[in-house]
Amino acid sequence: MALPAAVSVPVVIAADAGATGVEKEGYELIWQDEFDGVAIDPANWTFDLGAGGWGNGESQYYTDRSENAAVLDGMLVISALQEKYDGSYFTSARLKTEGLRAFRYGWIEARVKVPEGKGMWPAVWLLGTDFNRIGWPECGEIDIMEYIGNEPDLIMGTAHGPGYSGPLGFSRWNRREFNIADEFHTYAIDWTADRIDWYFDGEHYYTFQKEDIGEREWVFNRPFFILLNLAIGGQLPGPVGLDVTFPKQYFIDYVRVYRKVEK
């Protein structure tokens, strides 16, 4: 996924020492959103708004309405609706921690349930905080999880940077022997100065290292912010299938960030 240009905002590197949650051996929890409140926390999340395809030919209009994103029963629920809205025929939501929370290195994990259906494109991903200054792909992008709704057994993890973006990004297609959309699953990366590892339900499935890109620039040594979104259509999933019924809902149980404990 890619972003159009936006207004630059200051960034706070999160280090919430008082955060509480599930412990992870060898790591310290530094930030989390369990979505246990009554509304989306404005200290953690803001919204991307609008249409225009978002660099990928997507069909939705992103809003900040509660119809498209709300906290319900201890989860963030992103709902894609089929409706005419300001020139678009679908609406959805894209939340981000840009300007509020940013992270460099660590274990970043989300537990989510994705929606099935041709044209559905949910993701958990990261962008470099200097995106507004230098653009994409120079800022870097880490896709912790992308799911293509018409391939129910497939999820992907990808890294994009200068000279290795779009179809040239470093990616692993992870096929399972079941429909991923049927249940909640955890998606995570373990990110260090010169390596990123991807995990599905705690199982490692891909490693991307600095040495893999040769003479090209390694941009994953700077702060990144988190994005959660449900795109509709676009270059990767293709158009919405005629048999797809709406609304489609993307459930996020939690997002957690851990820092490795130095011994």
What gap in Å lies between CA 125 and CA 157, rounded to an integer?
9
What's the predicted TM-score (pTM) here? 0.91
Whether the Cβ atoms of residue 247 and residue 81 lie closer than 8 Å to each other: yes
Q: What is the dihedral of CA 20, 25, 26, 27, to 10 degrees?
A: -30
| Nearest C-alpha neighbor of 228 from the set 87, 109, 135 | 109
Side-chain-facing half-sphere of 186: CA atoms under 13 Å: 14
> Residues with catalytic annotation?
141, 146
CB neighbour list of residue 165: distance below 8 Å, 6 or more residues apart: 136, 137, 141
Whether the Cβ atoms of residue 90 and residue 222 lie closer than 8 Å to each other: no
What gap in Å lies between CA 184 and CA 117, rounded to an integer?
16
Bridge partner residues of 252 (DSSP): 76, 112
Residue written as token pair 């025929």:
89
For 88-140, strand residue ranges (E) read 88-92, 94-96, 106-113, 120-128
Domain ranges of the chain: 33-260
What gap in Å lies between CA 124 and CA 110, rounded to an integer?
8
Q: Mean pLDDT of successive 10-residue segments in the chain (263 residues)?
A: 39 43 88 98 98 84 98 98 96 98 98 96 98 95 94 93 94 87 97 98 97 97 98 88 93 98 83
Give residue 178's pLDDT.
87
| Nearest C-alpha neighbor of 143 from the set 210, 229, 211, 218 | 229
Residue 179 tokens, joined? 């429909």
CATH 1.25.40.10 applies to domain 33-260: no
Give residue 19's pLDDT.
45
| Nearest C-alpha neighbor of 140 from the set 228, 230, 225 | 225
